Structure 1
Amino acid sequence: MSKVALSTALMEAAKTWQKIKEGSSIDGALGQIKGEIKPAVQSLVYAVARRRVLTQWILKKLASKPPKPLLSSLLEVAFAQAVLSEKKPFTVVDQTVRAVKKDPSLANAANFANAVLRKFLREQEALVAEAMKNDEVKFNAPAWWIKKYRLIFGKDADAVLSLQQKHPPLVLRVNRRRISPEDYLKKLEENGIKDALRVGQDGIVLFSPRPVSDIPGFLDGEVSIQDAGSQLAAQILNPSDGMVVLDACAAPGGKTGHLLEMADVDLTAIEKDPVRTKRIGENLGRLDLKAEVRVADVGDVASWNVEKKLFDRILLDAPCSASGISRRHPDIPWLKDLSDVKSLAKTQAYLLDKMWSILAKKGRLLYAVCSVMPEEGIDQIKEFAASHPDAKLVPFKGAPEGWIRLSPHEDAPDLEFIPWVRDGFFYALFEKI
């Protein structure tokens, strides 16, 4: 926890956790935390987010009536730390009680907090065992999410849901303009990092998390952080030198950078959010790559494509439910519901139609979503193909029918082209005939 007192970090994490429970995203809530306390708060918040249902179940079991919202959040953060056993349990109790005493709005609840936490420590094993009989606790997801996954994945659903509870490894994309994956692995070994493995064509997986400043070559643009499943986008689109390329919905720029690493292309990157657009520029600057980056609504083509360009390649990484990346973002199952999935599917159909209108003849469009929901994947492309007779699906490695749904996965070895460590994605490659 560096120099920050645990009691201070616990209270700040509780306030952040309260915002998340009220509907803020983890990224949004943590984005408001500044200074040296942020790493400690981030660690505490992710720990409780990955045990959201369990900690709320425990509190309901141990408290005769619901505590004040802030106190509830603080106790849930403390329960998560006790379950993790990363800190001495009585240290967690002591520091949590100190945090309560220091907050004027909670000071008279110190004895209550102490009693609840100590009772949890005494009964922890039995309480957790009982809680884990509940699927929502076991998989840390709402009932609708679990039901949907079981419809999608059948007998494999519980394994996928279980995997999404685990902390994901750190995956790097090697910039082949600077260094080969083989030489980068050697560089890691020379720097004492021996737990790295190849994944996919350009990926390296690190099983020991570390700050980006401690990743050899990161600041020099030799590698970027990008999930191996996400790295498939540029590889499937496979641009060639001289092509005119569009990266629609481009932030934070990982796929933009990868496309430019693969070929010398005339690339336009469009992003609606000005803050996220800034990150595209930062990432390209670190890689020493150039693109035309614009803040615009990509669906409003006339507002940004004043030259009326036709593109040889288009990557449409469409807004989606993000149901394939909840391992990295454990708040996602609570930020979306089935009505959101249906609404997002309409947005995706709209953007597909708009992007198709600016694709050159014989050009290729890759539709991509970090989702496993059929409404955003196979159902979407079937409807698109049926309404666009000039569109044909193009086979690519691992996808003889021109599309592929990837479930979250972590198991060696690689299949052909498909990485063994990945988040969940859907890809479909169309060509205009």
Structure 2
Amino acid sequence: MAETSTAAPSEHLAYPAPRASGCPFDPPPSLLALQEEDAPLARARIWDGTSPWIVTRYDQLRALLGDPRLSSDTTHDGFPFRNAAGQVSDRVRRTFITMDDPEHARLRRMVTGPFAIRNVEALRPSVQAIVDDLIDRLLAGPKPADLVEAFATPVPSLVICELLGVPYTDHDFFQRNTRVVVRRTSTPDEVVAAQTALIDYLDDLLGDKLTRPGDDLLSKLAGQRVDTGQMTRREAAQMGVLLLSAGHETTANMIALGTVALLRHPEQLALLRGTDDPKVVAGAVEELLRYLTITHSGRRRVALEDIELDGQVIRAGEGVILAGDVANRDPRAFPDPHRLDLTRDARHHVAFGFGVHQCLGQPLARVELQVVYSTLYSRIPTLRLAVDPDQLEYKHDGLVYGVYELPVTW
């Protein structure tokens, strides 16, 4: 017979859970321990006192992310918001990632084209030029340098600005406001103010694109969608904010955190530095994505119907948190999962999610990371940390994991 959890909320695991001291790359030990239990589907106590289900096993997570009975729609009762600010902001700024099909699919299709693999591959020479130019500037500048500020953040920011048609000269504005949005400790008022500023900025930019279009995604949204009535200008602005913010924040953190991981695993860095085989580089990127899984706040859903899973029942109206960072360390899917192994076939990881809501920008992220990881360490073979590793400050308070600064020298 299927069972449901009857434990009192005080007995449930607190989420998000702390990482172990001295283990910055590993998921919280309490979640890893949960993964090994006979009945790993359990309750987690979150910020508002509610206790949604938490999923840590790889097979269960994939099954649920592909199940249409789980909803991404934040307007449903029982949705497990990440914090008070997220509860407010997700209702202020509605995008396709907080919708279900068919509305999700309709809006997503409007921006899918530029992120198709063939179109993204056409950007590879531009990405390479951006990476080479930033490395030239890094080498010509003072030592030590902050790799986050001088390289990891500008690479994806320049790329997404070029793709969208956003002036890079405004990067301080949109990076500053994005940091407020993704910080767990931001208040609802701070997040709403930052999101409103970003939406207003994109709205004004879309107005310019309507009168002076260019060869960029925002111009296409303005001309093909807004001007024809398929989408309001405000909806297009909200979509623009999503693409702009996600397009630089996640990849920037992955570049920096991946560099820390490689510098802490010199034998793996040597494998990457010593190859010019694109397939080896691509495989290394997939393993780093699996090993680090920087989206460490879980993918949030709510059940629309009762769902039985391995003898347990998620009832309609109950929230679900799908911990992809823990699932990517499941030994049933990845033998010896806590070892960074760039020769591992990790292509089936869930760092980008799974199912209809998997990350739209993953082809672009892959190209950017492949170019960065195949170029940075070969052009600066003596790259090393300029501080003791224990001095690095990690983004435990962020919705996206990474380091705040990365002092390096060579």
TM-score, normalised relative to structure 1: 0.24
Higher strand share: 1
TM-score, normalised relative to structure 2: 0.25
Larger Rg: 1
Indicate the structure whose relative CO is greater, using CA pairs within 8 Å and at least 6 residues apart. Answer: 2
